[in-house]
Amino acid sequence: MKNDFRARNHPAYWAFLVHRVSGLLLALFLPLHFWALGQALQGEAQLDSFLRWTEQPLVKFAEVVLVLLLAAHMAGGVRLLMLEFLAWRDWHKSLLAAAAGLSIAAGLAFLLNLV
Amino acid sequence: MTVLQVKVWRGGESGHYQEFEVPRFESQSVLDVVTYIQRSLDPTLSYRFACRVGMCGSCAMTVNGKARWTCRTHVAKVAAADRLEIAPLANLPVVKDLVTDMSPFFEKWAAAHGRFQGGRTRRDDFERVPPDSPQRGLVDEAIECIGCGICYSSCDVVSWNADYLGPAALNRAWTLVNDVRDTDQTRLAAVAGDAGCHACHTQMTCTERCPKQLSPTASIAGLKRLALAAALEGEI
Ligand code: FES
């Protein structure tokens, strides 16, 4: 028999899901990123017109999501490294809370244009 | 009198849930419920238990979606709205009803070199392990496993990779690599392969579920560190 969501409903599993999903979405975004950089090869005007296009609210919002994904994936990775490579202690929920807090802070900072 | 609505898995790998009504008693355990069904409602129900006090590890089942030791699980704790759904452990072949075939689970203990290999004979003196040595401390944290299979049955990596040794076998290996009396030099290599400690995704469901409050995740992380160190040294 197989387990369903009831067996998986706990914080460390959510952290795994966030890490996995953010990683997949970032991997999907990468080709787009390279394509955008590639616009520079077509000359300054081409890149500038693309960058102007990214000023739209919807694209800006997508960028916030992107920053959030990046922050979550990085914080989640650091959490895992600390959990597994430092001597084991009872701090996995604190690490998780810190990682979540940092990612949200990074997303908010970007949203509020602080960076 | 309150009545519990209990759905119990019947049949083998393919089967169905059968509904029973079981009177609710004070301090009732989930094992009491299953026993009531078998003694008073349907004697053909198969399930497994032995000690009833949380020592033998034979009574594990999936209760409302989570693997638990049923003899020490109070109905009051798990039966929201007086409903129970009782199934055999996941990730193991079902023999009949609530009974699973535990062989794959224990075969993996053997594959993880779960057997103590001492270097002395009965003619030698006892080997002394200082109780306050750091290694003995690591063993203490992981040694109380009763082999119930709850962690194994809860683990997604076991579901995804049928060869994965699983939390319990790796936890056992960790207690033995930290046992200063043990002489098995090949254990770390045996648990560092594709189906060994590095396959763990640190989802920690094993740690979440272990009825003895052990952390197989901690043991597996320890093995990962040892395996990495050994690989850097060129030992494995
Ligand atoms: S019957 Fe022995 S642990 Fe539950």
pLDDT digits (tens, 9 = 90+) for A29-50: 999 999 988 888 888 888 888 8
Q: What is the pLDDT of residue A42?
A: 85
In terms of DSSP bridges, do strands B83-87 and B3-11 run parallel, antiparallel, or are they unpaired? Answer: parallel
Dist. CA B36–CA B29, nearest whole Å? 11
- What CATH number belongs to A2-114? 1.20.1300.10
Average pLDDT rounded to a whole number, residues A8-28: 97
pLDDT in tens, B155-184: 999 999 999 999 999 999 999 999 999 999
Dist. CA A61–CA A48, nearest whole Å? 19
Residue B236: band (very low, low, confident or very high) from pLDDT cuts 50, 70, 90: confident
Share of chain B above pLDDT 70, in %: 100
Of the candidates B220, B223, B219, B158, the residue with the CA atom closest to the CA atom of residue B187: B223
Residue B221: band (very low, low, confident or very high) from pLDDT cuts 50, 70, 90: very high
pLDDT at residue A55 tops 90: no
How far, in Å, from the CA of B96 to the mean position of ligand 1?
19
Dist. CA B198–CA B156, nearest whole Å? 14
Q: What is the pLDDT of residue B84?
A: 98
User: Do both B37 and B140 map to the same domain?
Assistant: no
Is A13's CB within 8 Å of B218's CB?
no
User: Do both B135 and B214 map to the same domain?
Assistant: yes
Is A80's CB within 8 Å of B202's CB?
yes
Name the residue type at position A49: S
User: Do both B112 and B35 map to the same domain?
Assistant: no
Q: What is the pLDDT of residue A47?
A: 86
User: Do both B147 and B205 map to the same domain?
Assistant: yes
User: Do both B68 and B152 map to the same domain?
Assistant: no
Residue A115: band (very low, low, confident or very high) from pLDDT cuts 50, 70, 90: low
- Average pLDDT of chain B, as a whole number: 97
User: Do both B43 and B116 map to the same domain?
Assistant: no
Residue A5 CB-density burial (10 A; 0-12 exposed, 13-18 middle, 19+ buried): exposed
Complex-level ipTM: 0.90
Q: What is the pLDDT of residue B200?
A: 98
Average pLDDT rounded to a whole number, residues A56-68: 91
Average pLDDT rounded to a whole number, residues B109-113: 98
How far, in Å, from the CA of B116 to the mean position of ligand 1?
25
pLDDT in tens, B31-83: 999 999 999 999 999 999 999 999 999 999 999 999 999 999 999 999 989 99
User: Do both B109 and B94 map to the same domain?
Assistant: no
The total number of structural domains that make up chain B? 2
How far, in Å, from the CA of B32 to the mean position of ligand 1?
12
User: Do both B177 and B115 map to the same domain?
Assistant: yes
The count of other CB atoms within 10 Å of the CB of residue B53 is: 8
CATH of the domain at B88: 3.10.20.30
Closest-CA residue of B relative to A13 is B203
Q: What is the pLDDT of residue B10?
A: 98
Q: Are the beta carbons of B222 and B172 closer than 8 angstroms? A: no
Of the candidates B56, B88, B87, B85, the residue with the CA atom closest to the CA atom of residue B71: B56
Share of chain A above pLDDT 70, in %: 98
Residue B1: band (very low, low, confident or very high) from pLDDT cuts 50, 70, 90: confident
Chain B contacts of A85, Cβ < 8 Å? Answer: 221, 225
Of B71, B100, B129, at which residue does a domain stop?
Answer: B100
Average pLDDT rounded to a whole number, residues B131-146: 96
User: Do both B46 and B29 map to the same domain?
Assistant: yes
Ligand 1 pocket: which of B30, B34, B52 to mutate (most atoms <8 Å of CB)? B52
How far, in Å, from the CA of A34 to the mean position of ligand 1?
58
Q: What is the pLDDT of residue A114?
A: 64
Cβ < 6 Å from ligand 1: which residues?
Answer: B 49-52, 54-59, 69, 71
How do the domains of chain A map onto residue ranges? 2-114
- The verdict on B207 touching A (C-beta cutoff 8 Å) is yes
CA end-to-end span of chain A, whole Å? Answer: 50
User: Do both B80 and B179 map to the same domain?
Assistant: no
Select the residue from A1, A18, A83 to test the B interface by mutation, using most B Cβ atoms within 10 A. Answer: A1
Dist. CA B98–CA B113, nearest whole Å? 29
Kindly state the DSSP code that residue B234 receives in the 8-state scheme: T
Chain A residues touching chain B at CB-CB below 8 Å: 1-8, 10, 12-13, 16, 80, 83-85, 88, 92
- The verdict on B87 touching A (C-beta cutoff 8 Å) is yes
Domain with B180, as residue range(s), is 103-232
Of B84, B100, B116, at which residue does a domain stop?
Answer: B100
The count of other CB atoms within 10 Å of the CB of residue B15 is: 15
Q: Which of A6, A16, A88 sits opposite B203 (nearest CB)?
A: A16
CATH of the domain at B136: 1.10.1060.10
For residue A54, what are the contacts with CB-CB under 8 A and spacing of at least 6?
A60, A63
User: Do both B90 and B138 map to the same domain?
Assistant: no
Of the candidates B98, B219, B236, the residue with the CA atom closest to the CA atom of residue B166: B219
Of B53, B81, B100, at which residue does a domain stop?
Answer: B100
Q: Are the beta carbons of B26 and B74 closer than 8 angstroms? A: no
User: Do both B114 and B210 map to the same domain?
Assistant: yes
